[in-house]
Amino acid sequence: MYARKLKPVWTAVLVAGSLVGIGAHAEGLYAGGSVGSQNYPNTLNGNATSGSALSGKLYGGYQLNPNFAVEAGLTELGAVNNSAGQTDSYGSFVDAVGMLPLNPQWKLLGRLGLAHMSVNTPSGDDGGNGLKLGLGAEYALTKTVAIRGEWERYQLNAFGDKPNADQFTLGLKLGF
């Protein structure tokens, strides 16, 4: 099961490497990674999901203008252990990202997109497509390096229900 989870990570590494090569000649391209924690506010397949665990994401994007970008990436929402066993989820996403520059260093971020998530619980595995939204802020350290803090909500669309998962992350964005 763990090898199945690593395949998306290796895919993201290859995509990020390709973006680096392309990005050397294409202004507007960027890539990043973030780590943080998740929270499952709902039960998943009848399993309690209280607690939080280490989570993260890798992403790449293209900024079309100062106020709009498109991003795609992979996310791992972490694993929560309880008396029944381990519950975790992971997947991929595509987002439209709105940006509101406050000054040359600070931007506010808002995102809306689609995610395909896989959910594993002690009672079974499921997954599907769902909505994704988020809010955040970005601080430019240099012209090509920024720090991002974000909250994102994933609609997991699993087990005949639409449970949510929240992800809180802090990470780096690298422009090309």
Q: Where are the domains of the chain?
A: 2-175
Token reading at 16: 């990020």
Distance (Å, whole) CA 27 – CA 117? 31
* pLDDT surpasses 70 at 72: yes
CATH class of 2-175: mainly beta
pLDDT at residue 84, rounded to an integer = 74
pLDDT at residue 50, rounded to an integer = 63
Distance (Å, whole) CA 170 – CA 134? 13
Stretch 123-147: mean pLDDT = 94
Distance (Å, whole) CA 162 – CA 154? 10
Stretch 127-142: mean pLDDT = 95
Percent residues over pLDDT 90 in the chain: 53
